[in-house]
Amino acid sequence: PSTIEDALKVTQNLGLQYLWIDRYCIDQQDKAHAYSPMSQMDLIYQNSEVTIVAAAGEDPEYGLPGVGRRKRRQQPQTKIGSTVLISPLPKTAHLIAKSQWAKRAWTYQESLLSRRRLVFTDEQVYFQC
């Protein structure tokens, strides 16, 4: 999926060696195998360098805006004479709260336990710590 490909690019560009992707690192079909890593998610998130949050799009094919093929939305602006008027971007909390990412129960734990988050929305990338 595009989001995973983009997350790999972000990981490489940050100079990081590893990328944990729940969907691939935890075998959801094998409940016995899934329990072990799931019981350690607090340690996984707390010890990660950064958690990449895909707060844009409806599915894994959407990608991370500004990384791969998907462009970020441009901030609306207009010029009147020599003055440039730029529309403010929506508030970060609002963008994240209405995202598909925020609708999953798993992400509450991800948000709470991660020390640093790199949040990709359609408008911007936010660093939270």
Percent of the chain past pLDDT 90, that is, above it, reads 37
* Res. 35 pLDDT band, cuts 50 70 90: low
Mean pLDDT of 78-90: 87
Pairing of strands 117-120, 51-54: parallel
For residue 48, is pLDDT > 80?
yes
Alpha carbon dihedral 128, 24, 29, 57, in 10-degree steps, equals: 50
Give the E-state strand segments of the chain in sequence order: 51-54, 77-80, 83-86, 117-120, 125-128
Q: Which two tokens stand for residue 27?
A: 């075998």
Beta carbons of 55 and 96 less than 8 angstroms apart: yes
Token pair of 52 as six digits = 């990449």
The answer, yes or no, to whether residue 29 has pLDDT greater than 90, is no
Asked whether the predicted pLDDT for residue 37 surpasses 70, the reply is: no
Q: What are phi and psi of 28, to 5 degrees?
A: -65, -25
Mean pLDDT of 16-40: 77
Q: Please give the model's pTM, rounded to 2 decimal places.
A: 0.82
Query: Is 80 exceeded by the pLDDT of residue 3?
Result: yes
Question: What integer pLDDT is reported at residue 50 of this predicted model?
Answer: 95
Q: Phi then psi for 54, rounded to 5 degrees?
A: -95, 85
pLDDT score recorded for residue 100: 84
Read off the pLDDT of each residue in 89-96 and give the average, rounded to a whole number: 82
pLDDT of 39 > 80? The answer is no
Are 36 and 97 in contact, with CB atoms under 8 Å apart? no
